[in-house]
Amino acid sequence: MRADEQRPPTEYDRWMHRLMNRREAAPFHATAARRRTMVTVHVALTAVAVALWLCSAVGDERWATFSVLGLLLPWCFVTGVINSSTRGLLDLRVRALDERQRAERSRVAATAQRVMLWLLLAVTVAAGAATVNSVDVEGFLFPVLFTVFVIHWLMPLWVAGLAVEDEPADEAFDEFAGAVDAR
């Protein structure tokens, strides 16, 4: 066990735990189909944002910059829903997680690493095939590397969002929440 895992949770850890365990977003991720939909929407929003940003950066198109800004709010909302569905699995410090969550976090990281390994292999094979066929890949280098970087950054979130299981109906919590709301 690492030293930071042994330290007691701080006020920040408790605040983040409360934030990640709020129930307001529960209707958006209550079922596996809704979680898959949210992850799919997040992947689509990310793909469009990356394409627009590359159009802005490489193509020098000013309209694309404003389009990226327009996608920012829905992208952040869907990111929050996925984080809420995982109960902050990737955002909370290790010392704020229980043993089951630590194991789940390790499984998510391992799965995301395997998926990225295959993606990097595919990109490498494609670049090698293009080079063998005398295709100039220099113009594609930055866009492909940037896209792979973004996918690498977000893959654990997507894997965690897809790996979360349905929560059992917690009648005791619902009764407690109803009693608190009645005050």
Alpha helices in 90-140 (DSSP H): 99-132
Distance, in Å, from the CA atom of 96 to the CA atom of 10, rounded to the nearest integer, reads 9
Distance, in Å, from the CA atom of 155 to the CA atom of 139, rounded to the nearest integer, reads 25
pLDDT band of 181, cuts 50, 70, 90: very low
Asked whether residue 177 carries a pLDDT value surpassing 60, the answer given is: no
Tens of pLDDT, residue by residue over 90-106, are 888 888 888 888 999 99
pTM above 0.85, yes or no: no
Asked whether residue 133 carries a pLDDT value surpassing 70, the answer given is: yes
How many distinct structural domains can be found in the chain? 1
Euclidean distance between the first and the last CA atom of the chain, given in angstroms as a whole number: 43
Which of residues 176 and 90 earns the better pLDDT score? Answer: 90
Range of the domain at 59: 3-182
Sign of CA dihedral 142, 143, 146, 149: negative
Mean pLDDT of the chain: 85
Top mean pLDDT of 63-67, 84-88, 154-158, 164-168 is at 154-158
pLDDT band of 176, cuts 50, 70, 90: very low
pLDDT band of 9, cuts 50, 70, 90: confident
